[in-house]
Amino acid sequence: MHSLSIAEIIDKLRKKEFSSQEITQFFLKRIQQNDQKYNSFISLCEEQALTQARAADANLAAQTAPSALCGVPIAHKDIFCTEGLRTTCGSRMLQNFNPPYNATVVENFLSAGAVTLGKTNMDEFAMGSSNETSYFGAVKNPWDLRCVPGGSSGGSAAAVAARLVPGATATDTGGSIRQPAALCGITGIKPTYGRVSRWGMIAFASSLDQAGVMARDARDAALLLSTMASHDHRDSTSMDRPREDYSRQLDKPISELRIGIPKEYFDQGLNAGTEKAVQEAISSLTKLGAKTHAISLPHTHLAVPAYYVIAPAECSTNLSRFDGVRYGHRCENPKDLLDLYKRSRGEGFGAEVKRRILVGTYALSSGYYDAYYRKAQQVRRLIKQDFVDAFKEVDMIVGPTCPSPAFEFGAKGDDPVAMYLEDIYTIAANLAGLPAMSIPCGLVDNKPVGLQLIGNYFAEGSLLNAAHQFQCHTDFHTQTPKDLT
């Protein structure tokens, strides 16, 4: 059963070839037997999952026009609040936090009849590009257990790549869906900022965070995103747009598609094997009728420095609530209130989170706000304008997702800047609020390479269409790690 896509699971559930309870039990057992190799899950909810599966089976049997995802097992990144199931954000600070409510994303899947298997591992508070910062231990890449799966949504990516779950939710602040999707050889999409509610999604950088999905292929991603994306009056940044069925235009030809190839994405920092795979993927798109255009995004080189002022500044503010008073980790026997604050935060947060809080607090402090934070926001506007200008000439922008395939654990741990540069091609889409996705496009040294597609605002359907057409004529998305059992 683990070889089935979500679309195939839906078809077989409707044909009653197996029940939701049977396939839920299958995946729970598969996780229990195999995840010690990958460490992709923080929590499993076996009893709750089986209860949901039985309810889905009853709905399917009653033939009351159930949702497409009714009975389909999925997993949630451990950044989404789940009622009665702990939500840790990969941090000691929240290791025992049990939310009293569900995030809107979780509510949407529950309303659709999907079954929650558990919560996936992640970089602490979504801060990282390698999934090495989790308090619960690093996640391993199923393609090479010596290598990182990417971050921060590495648990979701590894779980899908290892076929422990058919699909999973994830979040993307600077590339945290696309980068791990690329390094693990799966499909991941970050929608337009505001397309998916952030209510109940624990905040890292509020103007950048966006929820999305990870799946085996574009068709599965379309099914998941159609359920996830909705307007939410509880989220002031949620866009008031009607729901969309992203599966409807998957089979549309891409013969009229204009693809922009930014010269800045093919610079000297790009791995030669990665560049070759991406160029071959672009050639495949042109054979399907797409037309390529050379474009320039002149402020690309400023994306990383702008992001690493804005994101830490926002994280400094968002994480100030974790002080040991109301919820979260509390130190033992504090001497006074100041000691409570200092030791609770010092013990509860890991090194990368502390580093970003310090950077962000400095950037927002008196005397430095204009020099750093305001200037970074001005640069952000220039980066957005680059995309606005580009989309006057093209429909989509294509390039590499990451500068190189997955690297080994510890390779960049002593150099935060080198780690930050792993997101050099993905960050700009977050700064501009654009939809973007990564799809598998080849292998380098038996490690996956991702092709990034960036669309105009609310063009998720077009991205999924192009990705699906590419996957109809290639088999990269069907390839699995060699030791997969």
Catalytic residues: 77, 152, 176
CA dihedral 277→283→286→287, nearest 10 degrees, is: -110
b/e code 108-140 from CB counts within 10 Å (16+ = b): bbbebbbbbbbbbbbbbbbbbbbbbbbbbebbb
What does the alpha-carbon distance between residue 226 and residue 209 come to, in Å, rounded to a whole number? 19
Decide if 91 contacts 353 (C-beta within 8 A).
Answer: yes
Decide if 123 contacts 131 (C-beta within 8 A).
Answer: yes
Residues 6+ away with beta carbon under 8 Å from 260? 292, 293, 294, 295, 390, 393, 394, 396, 397, 398
Residues 6+ away with beta carbon under 8 Å from 351? 133
Phi, psi (degrees; rounded to nearest 5) at 206: -60, -30
Q: Are strands 115-120 and 396-400 parallel, antiparallel or unpaired?
A: unpaired
Which secondary-structure segment (H or E) carries 211? strand 210-215
Phi, psi (degrees; rounded to nearest 5) at 81: -65, 135
Decide if 309 contacts 420 (C-beta within 8 A).
Answer: no
What does the alpha-carbon distance between residue 233 and residue 239 come to, in Å, rounded to a whole number? 9
Decide if 466 contacts 257 (C-beta within 8 A).
Answer: yes
Decide if 437 contacts 221 (C-beta within 8 A).
Answer: yes
- Which contacts of 63-68 are long-range, i.e. CB under 8 A and separated by 24 or more positions? 66/113, 67/111, 67/112, 67/113, 67/114, 67/227, 68/10, 68/112, 68/223, 68/226, 68/227
